[in-house]
Amino acid sequence: MENEKETVLRMKGICKSFPGVKALDNISFDLKKGEVHVLLGENGAGKSTLIKILSGAYQPDAGEIQIEGKVVKEISPYLSRKLGISVIYQELQLVPYLTVAENIFLGNEPMENKLLIDKKQMFQKAKELLESINSNIDPSCIVQDLSIAQRQIVEIAKSLSLDAKIIVMDEPTSSLTQDETNELFALIKRLRNQGVGIIYIGHRMEEVFEIGDRATVLRDGTYIGTKIIKETSHDELITMIVGRSITNQFPYEERPIGDTVLEVINLNNSKLKDINFQLKAGEILGIYGLLGAGRTELARAIFGADHIESGEIIINGVPRRIRNPREAISYGIGLLPEDRKNQGLSLIASVLNNTTYSALGRFIKSLFINDKQEKEAVTDLINQLSIKTPSMFTQAESLSGGNQQKVVLAKWLCSQSKIIIFDEPTRGIDVGAKVEIYKIMLELTKEGGSIIMISSELPELLGMSDRILVMSEGRIKEEFPRSEATQEKLHKAVVVNQ
């Protein structure tokens, strides 16, 4: 029988509805002291709603919350923090222009004579907190000067300053390199050993099995089940998440590769050095490298978002000078950026407007937009890409991550782009939606389109690419055909060329 004293959190029969949507239907979840409990589910499964109830941002319509065996009647953000609950969101909640120490104790500063902030004590306490989690970050550093990984450590220190018993981590590795991920996991294990209960929200199966003790799966707002990690498998969890067995996570198929559609010759700017490569019709060209290797900078240069100092870009045999994204679009190039929410979408705009704003020329007749033609085109793309949205007039911010990514892709299909650059195409997207994105990519290449896929996930690159380029320090260091590429070779190519 489970020892009740070990349970730090118990949520029983939690229900929550919004107009027209039952977000949570009789959900139960518990967390033990010194445990990493992974919360899994597709985008829209109810994970975020459950955590917002725990943090006090939402009130449940029904159900009960117990902290260390005591029932919490009405939870609020203030009470949640007081009870030792801390949520570290994917978009970190730090003030960039304040110091590390000021961020750690923001709103909870040690006072001198109840009137002035005791800065000396604050910096000393911050130093001790950081040292307790084996971090050498200087408390006097300005947060905006830190890496994403370091900022996450500051968030964890902030949680510990509030005597957090429960820490929720939402997609904590989405912007980290493998080395930074390893450091974070080492820190999570130390916190677990100190008795802190951790709720870990993620999509990467390999991380679930490396860091988790138990996993609970939600689907469509309902509880599917809880598994002990050591007693389950990747396939079993994936089936629970998507409701069906996924036999082929990477639906690659051999297909004809045509002539060169894009050639980059001796391209240089402040971040890129002597870049040379070709992209063929119907090809998926993968690009691998560590954070800072120049992958995103290469995508931005080709798309005209970053200045090119020298070199040549040839599209379908014709040299083109691309000075801005508008010119890139006119030559049939589209970019799905790494940060889709801030760079790929207007979150407050509708699915319709996001889809057509780069291709309005298609629908303008006699100075007016042909509404009927525009709506027909968007309806076709929603159906083609299986975009789950209440309507084409729904704001993009209300969609799941996978469906937001599909809307960005719809924009480029509406613009009739033939060369599409996918920068981290499945970051923050659940396993079911990932497979859908891969299938769409494959179909695009079958129809003659060409794809450059930049990814930090080696299984994804190996599973979907026809060729893979390895970048390091702004240069292309090596090239591997699909038949010769392995995780070991790609990783070695990156390490050797550092």
Q: Is the pLDDT of residue 17 over 70?
A: yes
Class of domain 260-496: alpha beta
* pLDDT averaged over every residue in the chain: 88
Residue 62 CB coordination number (10 Å): 13
Residue written as token pair 């498998």: 233
pLDDT of residue 245: 62
Is 50 in contact with 67 (CB distance < 8 Å)?
no
Class of domain 4-242: alpha beta
Q: What are phi and psi of 297, to 5 degrees?
A: -65, -35
Average pLDDT (465-493) is 91
pLDDT of residue 241: 85
pLDDT confidence band for 497 (50 / 70 / 90): low
pLDDT of residue 149: 76
pLDDT of residue 494: 76
Return the higher-pLDDT residue of 113 and 82. 82
Query: 4-242 with 260-496: one CATH topology?
Result: yes
Q: Is the pLDDT of residue 344 over 90?
A: no
Which residue pairs from 219-222 have beta carbons closer than 8 angstroms and sit at least 24 positions apart in sequence?
219/41, 219/42, 219/45, 219/243, 220/44, 220/45, 220/46, 221/22, 221/23, 221/24, 221/25, 221/27, 221/45, 221/46, 221/49, 222/25, 222/26, 222/27, 222/46
What confidence tens digit (pLDDT) does each residue in 108-122 have? 888 887 778 888 889
Q: Is the pLDDT of residue 138 over 50?
A: yes
> What is the distance between the terminal CA atoms of the chain, rounded to a whole angstrom?
53
Is 351 in contact with 380 (CB distance < 8 Å)?
no
Residue 205 CB coordination number (10 Å): 19
pLDDT of residue 250: 87
Domain segments of the chain: what residues? 4-242, 260-496
pLDDT of residue 496: 61
Burial of 256 (0-12, 13-18, 19+ CB in 10 A): exposed
SS (H, E, C) 309-360: CEEEEEECCEEECCCCHHHHHHCCEEEECCCHHHHHCCCCCEHHHHHHCCCH
Q: Is the pLDDT of residue 301 over 60?
A: yes
pLDDT of residue 157: 87
What confidence tens digit (pLDDT) does each residue in 347-373 have? 899 999 999 988 888 888 777 888 888
Q: Is the pLDDT of residue 4 over 70?
A: no
Is 282 in contact with 169 (CB distance < 8 Å)?
no
pLDDT of residue 1: 37
Q: What are phi and psi of 77, to 5 degrees?
A: -55, -40
Residue written as token pair 């978009």: 91
The whole-angstrom separation of Cα 265 and Cα 311 is 6
What confidence tens digit (pLDDT) does each residue in 195-246 have? 999 999 987 788 899 999 999 999 889 999 999 999 999 888 888 887 766 6
pLDDT of residue 214: 96
What confidence tens digit (pLDDT) does each residue in 381-434 have? 998 888 888 899 999 988 877 788 889 989 998 988 999 999 988 877 777 778
Q: Is the pLDDT of residue 442 over 90?
A: yes
The whole-angstrom separation of Cα 370 and Cα 387 is 23
pLDDT of residue 2: 45
Q: What are phi and psi of 477, to 5 degrees?
A: -95, -40
How much of the chain, in percent, has pLDDT values that exceed 70?
A: 97
Average pLDDT (162-187) is 82
CA dihedral 219, 220, 222, 224 (to 10 degrees): -20
Return the higher-pLDDT residue of 320 and 159. 320
Buried b (16+ CB within 10 A) or exposed e, 334-365: bbbbbebbeebbeeeebbbbbbbebbeeebee
